[in-house]
Structure 1
Amino acid sequence: MTDEAPRKPMQQAVALAYDTGKPAPKVVAKGRGLVADQIIHVAKEAGVAIHESKELVSLLMEVDLDQQIPPILYRTIAELLAWLYHIEAAQKSGSPLPPAPDTSIPLTEI
């Protein structure tokens, strides 16, 4: 028997980018462990808002790099993008930051 502490699940991270005029955001970075840590670090340094959702990240990890998100995630990602715009507006005006949206995805949609 060993006295090792139980291992924490490896952190995952996904970065999305949306170009105006394109049909949907695309996955521009994704990874686990140290790569995930680096994605989060770069986002924080750039002042990018970070939203944590293990369920959503798990689904986005299945999308290939440089590919658009699947239509099933359009609504959830649109809500996240709207949240980000509200955060930017609140920061500029000094208003309180809006609460993060619920990114749980009903099993009936998957």
Structure 2
Amino acid sequence: MADKDENKKVKTAVALGYDPNEDGAPVVIASGKGALAEKIIEQAQENKIPVHEDSKLADTLSKLEIGEMIPPELYEVVAEILVFVDAMDKIKAKDKSRR
């Protein structure tokens, strides 16, 4: 994507990992823009990992280093996403048990 066209924004993707037994907060495990962002999203979809779109949050999280925990001021919004992911996992589990 060319930066010349201001109407087209370069896609940003950030992957978070969280283990409540080990991590104090979610951790950035992947981050990228443009083609790398597309690859992160593609990998998530191939591995049936739920994808949540929030360009402002992605831009903010992309400023963090890989392995860095999210800052406390983002706990609430990321917690909402984790609830979304958990709900998606439960829906998938129900679908598998019905088969």
Same fold (TM over 0.5): yes
Deviation at 1:83, TM superposition (A): 1.1
How far does the alpha carbon of each residue in 1:47-102 deviate from its partner, in whole angstroms, 9 at most, with x for none?
A: 000000011101101111110000000111111111111111122224xxxxxxxx
Between the aligned partners of 1:69 and 1:6, the Cα distance in structure 2 is: 31
Aligned to 1:75: 76
1:9 CA displacement = 1.4
**Aligned length in residues:** 90
1:81-92 matched pairs, under 5 angstroms: 81-92=82-93
2:14 is aligned to 14
Map of 1:58 onto structure 2:
59
TM-score by length of 1: 0.76
Q: Residue 104 of structure 1 corresponds to which residue in structure 2?
A: none
CA distance in 1, matches of 2:86, 2:29: 20
Give the AA of the match of 2:16.
L
Which structure: greater helix fraction? 2
CA distance in 2, matches of 1:36, 1:93: 30
Letter in 2 for 1:16: L
Mark the runs of 5 or more structure 2 residues left unpaired by the alignment: none
Moved over 4 A (4+): none
Q: Which has the higher contact order (CA 8 A, sep 6+)?
A: 2
Backbone CA RMSD of aligned residues: 1.5
Query: Gapped runs of 5+ residues in structure 1?
Result: 95-110
TM-score (ref. length: structure 2): 0.84
Residue in structure 2 matched with residue 40 of structure 1 by the alignment: 41
